[in-house]
Amino acid sequence: MRTGIFLSYAGGFKEAADQVVELEKVGVDIALVAEAYSYDAISQLGYLAAKTSTMELGTGVVPIYTRTPALMAMSAAGVDYVSDGRFRLGLGTSGPQVIEGFHGVPFDAPLGRTREVVEICRKVWRRENLDYDGKYYQLPLPADRGTGLGKSLHLINHPVRERIPITIAALGPKNVELTAEIAEGWQPVFYLPEKADDVWGDALRAGTAKRDPALGPLDVMVSASLAIGDDVDDRLAWAKPQLALYIGGMGARGQNFYHKLATRYGYGEVADHIQDLFLAGKKAEAIAAVPDDLVRNISLVGPKGFVKERLAAYAEAGVTTMLVHPLATDSAETVKFCEELVELTR
């Protein structure tokens, strides 16, 4: 099982980059930079490419709506070039709050657009002329065809690789099925290994049945909070604000992907309560309402023996890469936790 880390997108990036250099030394395999309504991920990954030499780098994730497919492909090829072929493109849809509220772009047709973005990216990396007639993207534009302005183009540069690995963040059954069909990797969130097959098994099997064998096995890249030690139970509370935000506030009632996931895990009443509190502006109470056992079930928090048992459960569920959020007091403890995690996965 590979190991990886998420970098904070809320600030202190240069300090986080220095930390990544230390994490590379202890054997962490991949570092991901998220993109929300923060600094963009691509520029920061270029910075990381210059600071590292062996670690894989990736977006975790960039929304498909905020760049044209060609720009997405150009950016990915650029980071892959400056990192000597160490880049992985993580894609996702984000949600209406970010896409419409921050970017002013309609949040529509996530499945169809994801498929077409992936197809166009791969055409760009193969340096094919961008003749593409999809439902959502047409290249050249239909109005330009036959006018002399509609000549299709291909990427000027020769990419390091003509197939850069693509990971898709997906939760819903149709999104997961599409991911298993077309992507090299799948990045679910709040993954509970004992419930994973009940929630996603059918979708994964349906997508895999249509999968091109040339893609290889699906890399299941799961995120989890991390704290290893005999006295780290207090760290469970550190993970609750994020869970409360996602379950309670990432979308309106009936439109919250994370609330639906918690419900499918058997926490429906708790999820409803968290959402009621969060939407009423009672954020502290919403955080307090997140149960310890939910956090523990989707995290790697506890003594080394417990973490080893949880890693075995993740592996049994098909997880191939553990992406962690260290619940650490400082950089030294972050490196310590990750080094212990690497030892447990080898």
Residue bearing tokens 């994490």: 23
Distance CA 213, CA 44 (A): 33
H and E: helices and strands count for the chain: 14, 12
pLDDT of the residue at 138: 94
The answer to whether residue 127 scores a pLDDT higher than 70 is: yes
Long-range interactions of 158-162: CB distance < 8 A, separation 24+: 158/127, 159/77, 159/80, 159/81, 159/125, 159/127, 160/77, 160/80, 160/81, 160/84, 160/85, 161/80, 161/85, 161/125, 162/122, 162/125, 162/126, 162/127
Length of the chain equals: 346
Identify any residues that bridge with 22 across adjacent strands, giving them in sequence order: none
Number of C-beta neighbours around residue 178 at 10 A: 23
Which one, of 158, 108, 160, 154, lies nearest residue 135 by Cα?
108
The answer to whether residue 207 scores a pLDDT higher than 70 is: yes
Q: What angle do helix axes 331-345 and 13-25 make, rounded to 10 degrees?
A: 40
pLDDT band, very low/low/confident/very high, at 253 (cuts 50, 70, 90): confident
Q: What separation in angstroms does the CA of 14 have from each of 9, 21, 27, 181, 273?
A: 11, 11, 20, 37, 38
pLDDT of the residue at 148: 66
User: What pLDDT digit, counting tens, does each position of 254-263 carry?
Assistant: 888 899 999 9
Residue type, 32: L
The answer to whether residue 340 scores a pLDDT higher than 80 is: yes
Residue type, 136: Y
Give percent of the chain above pLDDT 70: 97
The DSSP-derived string for 165-204 is: -EEE---SHHHHHHHHHH-SEE--SS--HHHHHHHHHHHH
Residue type, 104: G
Burial 192-220 (b: 16+ CB within 10 A, else e): bbebbeebbeebbebbeeebeeebeebbb
Cβ–Cβ under 8 Å, residues 246 and 325: no
What pTM value is reported for the model?
0.94
Which one, of 37, 9, 35, 42, lies nearest residue 103 by Cα?
37
User: What pLDDT digit, counting tens, does each position of 74-95 carry?
Assistant: 999 999 999 999 999 999 999 8
Cβ–Cβ under 8 Å, residues 206 and 233: no
What average pLDDT does this structure show over 149-164? 92
Give percent of the chain above pLDDT 90: 87
Rg of the chain over CA atoms, in angstroms?
A: 20
Distance CA 346, CA 344 (A): 6
User: What pLDDT digit, counting tens, does each position of 26-75 carry?
Assistant: 999 999 999 988 899 999 999 999 999 999 999 999 999 999 999 999 99
Backbone angles phi, psi at 112, to 5 degrees: -65, -40
Which one, of 234, 238, 241, 223, lies nearest residue 300 by Cα?
223
Of 10-24, 84-98, 164-178, 264-278, give the lowest mean pLDDT range. Answer: 10-24
